[in-house]
Amino acid sequence: MIAEPPEQRPVHGTALADEIAFRLRAEILDGKLPGGARLQHEELAVRFGVSRTPIREALRQLKAMNLVVVVPNRGATVRVPSRTEVADVYELRADLEGLACELACARAREQDLDELDRAQARLTEVVAAAERLGEAELDAAVATWNTAFHRCVHQASGNRRLVETIEQLRAFFPRDSVWRALAHDHAALTTMNVTEHDTIAAALRARDARRARGAMRDHVQGAGEILLAYLDDQGFWS
The domain spanning residue 40 has which CATH number?
Answer: 1.10.10.10
Domain count within the chain: 2
- Are 35 and 112 in a shared domain? no
Is 143 found in the same domain as 65? no
Q: Domain for residue 177, yes or no? A: yes
Nearest Cα to Cα of residue 25 among 187, 132, 179: 179
Q: Which of 27, 51, 78 is the last residue of a domain?
A: 78
pLDDT confidence band for 165 (50 / 70 / 90): very high
* Segment 122-152, tens digit of pLDDT: 999 999 999 898 888 888 899 899 999 999 9
pTM, 2 dp: 0.84
Same domain for 69 and 87, yes or no, is no
- Which residues contact residue 133 at a Cβ distance below 8 angstroms, ignoring those fewer than 6 apart? 1, 126, 141
Q: Of 78, 95, 116, which residue constitutes the final position of a domain? A: 78
Same domain, 88 and 170: yes
Residue 57 lies in a domain: yes
More confident residue, 112 or 7: 112
Whether residue 53 is found in the same domain as residue 152: no
pLDDT in tens, 9-40: 444 444 789 889 989 998 998 888 998 999 99
In a shared domain, residues 104 and 57:
no
Q: Specify whether 109 is located in the same domain as 216.
A: yes
Residues 130 and 53 in one domain: no
* Domain residue limits at 123: 83-233
Residue 48 pLDDT > 50? yes
- DSSP code string of 177-194: THHHHHTT-HHHHHIIII
Which has the closest alpha carbon to 41: 27, 57, 28? 57
pLDDT of amino acid 73 = 75
Residues 30 and 73 reside in one and the same domain: yes
Q: Are 173 and 81 in contact (CB under 8 A)?
A: yes
pLDDT for residue 7: 44
For residues 208 and 130, membership in a common domain is answered with yes
Tell me, yes or no, whether 139 and 91 share the same domain: yes
Residue with more model confidence, 80 or 214: 214
Q: What is the share, in percent, of the chain residues with pLDDT greater than 70?
A: 93
Residue closest to 179 by CA, chosen among 226, 216, 225: 226
Q: Are residues 218 and 178 in the same domain?
A: yes
- Of 113, 112, 139, the residue nearest 126 (C-alpha): 139
The span from the CA of 106 to the CA of 42, in Å, is: 54
pLDDT in tens, 169-217: 998 887 667 877 887 889 999 999 999 999 999 999 999 999 999 999 9
Helix/strand number for the chain, H first, E second: 11, 3
